Structure 1
Amino acid sequence: MARLVEEFKYIVRIGDTDIDGSLPAVYGLAKIKGIGYTTALAILRKLGIDPHMRLGYLSETRIRELDEKVRDITQLGFPSWLYNRRKDYTTGKDLHLIGADLVFYARQDIEREKRIKSWRGLRHSLGLKVRGQRTATTGRLGMTVGVSKKSR
């Protein structure tokens, strides 16, 4: 007798990431590096999958379809502001990167800034704060015992 309900999958592999099958689909997709809650919700709504359904109950064909769309969400027709890499430096295209690609491109961007000796690149190379934060009291490295203010 054929089973109508497929077996529950405890681990689902989407976008080269192992995800706990007991998680709701929206939170499971958000576990993939480069996909947050909002992006996951948009993908699931576009594919017609209930965001609160457990990932382990999805069929193999749905999981394959989800994996394919997660790897390239540009084919789903989302607006460009939803992507995490707009106007790529080399190609000029709007991309959405996940996993190891995201880490690779971020590291490549930092290395390029160091190479051209931009302000951000210099801050990165010196190991200092890059985004304009204060540095007088935070971001100290090593042991600091009794740091006191300069006398006026």
Structure 2
Amino acid sequence: MEDGFKHIVRIADTDLDGNKPVIHALTGIKGIGLRLSRSIVNQLGVDGMVKLGELDDENLEKLKKFVEEEIESLPTWMLNRRKDYHTGKDLHLLNKDIDFARMLDIERMIRAKAYRGVRHARGHKVRGQRTRSTGRKGATVGVIRRKK
């Protein structure tokens, strides 16, 4: 290993492993998958198979700036929050923002008493799965045999 090697690189409030290739290391950020990380690397012109810790400071700063600020410049179909309910804009959320936005969406459905909101509130299955024999919480239900 050389002197300039960074074992841990911090991008978007996440510690990433410097021993992994750039494409795979970026997937450690919640909200960035393999397809998105490949497109980020292609957009910036960085070699995706180089280890993240071997990148020079200039490329690391480019990567950090793009992920944290300019990620919305990608095509809209790649973003994970299109036409946001509150702002109406196309956003790409990372880390805790994803969980927070999901929680707000569920609370909005519960307040509106939408079918999905009612199911969430009661703790039932939401997406149309069968509930006759699965999804039970608590004691098991079975057939009681009559004594002879």
The answer to whether TM tops 0.5 is yes
8 Å CA contact retained: 1:6, 1:57: no
What per-residue deviation string (whole Å, max 9, x for no partner) do you get for residues 87-138 of structure 1?
A: 0001110000001111111111111111111111111101111111122222
> 1:107: which partner in 2?
103
What per-residue deviation string (whole Å, max 9, x for no partner) do you get for residues 57-103 of structure 1?
A: 1122222221111123113xx22110000000011100000011111
Following TM superposition, by how much is the alpha carbon of 1:147 offset from its aligned partner in structure 2, in angstroms? 3.1
8 Å CA contact retained: 1:6, 1:59: no
8 Å CA contact retained: 1:74, 1:95: yes
Structure 1 residue runs of 4+, over 4 Å off? none
Q: CA–CA distance in 2 between the matches of 1:135 and 1:37?
A: 34
> What aligned pairs does 1:76-115 form with structure 2 within 5 A after superposition?
78-115=74-111
Q: CA–CA distance in 1 between the matches of 2:75 and 2:94?
A: 17
Deviates more, 1:63-72 or 1:41-50: 63-72
TM-score, length-normalised on structure 1?
A: 0.86
Output the amino acid matched with 1:94. D
> 2:24: which partner in 1?
27
Output the amino acid matched with 2:22. A
> 2:142: which partner in 1?
147
Following TM superposition, by how much is the alpha carbon of 1:140 offset from its aligned partner in structure 2, in angstroms? 1.8
Following TM superposition, by how much is the alpha carbon of 1:6 offset from its aligned partner in structure 2, in angstroms? 5.6
Q: CA–CA distance in 2 between the matches of 1:147 and 1:23?
A: 51
Q: CA–CA distance in 2 between the matches of 1:19 and 1:38?
A: 18
What are the ranges of 5 or more consecutive residues in structure 1 without an aligned counterpart? Answer: none
TM-score, length-normalised on structure 2?
A: 0.88
Output the amino acid matched with 2:142. V
What are the ranges of 5 or more consecutive residues in structure 2 without an aligned counterpart? Answer: 144-148
> 2:55: which partner in 1?
58
CA pair 120-61 structure 1, distance change in 2 beyond 3 A = same
CA RMSD in angstroms comes to 1.5
CA pair 147-23 structure 1, distance change in 2 beyond 3 A = farther
CA pair 62-53 structure 1, distance change in 2 beyond 3 A = same
Q: Percent identity?
A: 48
